[in-house]
Amino acid sequence: MKRISGVVFLALLCVFPLFAGDFYINLASQILIAAIFAMSLNLLVGYGGLTSLGHASFLGFAAYASAWSTTHMGLGVGTAAVVAILATMVMAGLFGMIALRATGLGFLMITLALSQVLWGLAYRWVAVTNGDNGMSGLVRPAPFGISLDSGANYYWFTLVVFVVSYWLMAIFVSSAFGSALRGTRDQARRMSALGHDVWMIRWITFIYAGFWGAVSGLLYVYYTKYIHPSSLSITASAEGLLSVIAGGSGTLGGPVVGAALLIILKNYASAYVERWNMLLGFVFLFIVLVLPEGIVPGLKRIFSRRQGGQS
């Protein structure tokens, strides 16, 4: 039943641009990009028990690396994407070596500090990043000669990447390695006593999460055709973390639902409410109080109770 509903939902996503206007198509593209970013963070938060406030480092660094490679090094968009992803994975490996020296609050503070270093460099290193003016004049790729300049084409391209990312992350968390990762989250000392290298499991996950963070960064810079230091800010990381917590950490669909809620609120609330951030805060406060485990696990719990009561 779940597989059938998933196929139907995917089919609806595929035909969505045929019935929606440009505004909603672009909104859906933003949701898919934010969902990939939130899912990558969920690998650390939900499955690894490692709460990070610096995950935007991977998104912003990959976006800047791609932009720099095309505008200053003359690389093609495809080659620049590969370079950006590889460079981001190397950075994730280095950051992981530093951040994974601690857990809990210490890990959170180290990831925050590292991201703030990158944010400061993006603002101050004007010769490379163009500072507060950002980098503009960027172009979208044309895979197999198909232009992505139209909103519908770019949506379909983003949807394909989203489906692949969801599938690969689902394989990752359901594998034996994913089980070991959850074991390090729940009982790190016991996993170590059983012969598992807890640090290595977390480090590999950190790099894998950085990879998908880089993918979301490339999609983001292709969508906006512009990159600004704000993409590296603590706000960007916090929004990803809010998406994971609101939707339900440790679930595959939770970050997707949380990201959709966040993007919709940002686009609609900001149009009608001047202090839309306050409204956003109230919504997430309501979710935490009513559905503390997140939207997806919370709704599953409510439906299971109702089914149990009816039977």
Residue labelled with tokens 């519908």: 152
Strands (E), the chain: none
Q: Are 154 and 140 in contact (CB under 8 A)?
A: yes
Positive or negative: CA dihedral 230, 235, 236, 237: positive
Token digits for 70? 């095309």
Q: Can you give the pTM of this predicted structure? A: 0.94
User: Given its phi and psi angles, is residue 75 left (phi above 0), alpha (psi -120 to 50 degrees) or beta?
Assistant: beta
User: Given its phi and psi angles, is residue 202 left (phi above 0), alpha (psi -120 to 50 degrees) or beta?
Assistant: alpha
Pairwise CA distance, residues 300 & 295, whole Å: 9
- The pLDDT tens digits of the residues spanning 232-270 come to 999 899 999 999 999 999 899 999 999 999 999 888 777
Q: What is the pLDDT of residue 33?
A: 97
Of 163, 222, 158, 223, the C-alpha closest to 17 is 158
Q: What is the pLDDT of residue 310?
A: 60
The residue type at 80: A
Using the predicted structure, report yes or no on whether residue 5 has a pLDDT greater than 80. no
CB-CB neighbours of 196 under 10 Å: 16
User: Given its phi and psi angles, is residue 187 left (phi above 0), alpha (psi -120 to 50 degrees) or beta?
Assistant: beta
The residue type at 104: G
Give the model's confidence band at 308: pLDDT under 50 very low, under 70 low, under 90 confident, else very high: low
Q: Determine the Cα angle at 122 with ends 119 and 127, to 5°.
A: 165
- The pLDDT tens digits of the residues spanning 178-222 come to 999 999 999 989 999 988 999 999 999 999 999 999 999 999 999
Q: What is the pLDDT of residue 1?
A: 56
Using the predicted structure, report yes or no on whether residue 132 has a pLDDT greater than 60. yes
Of 49, 52, 46, 16, the C-alpha closest to 31 is 16
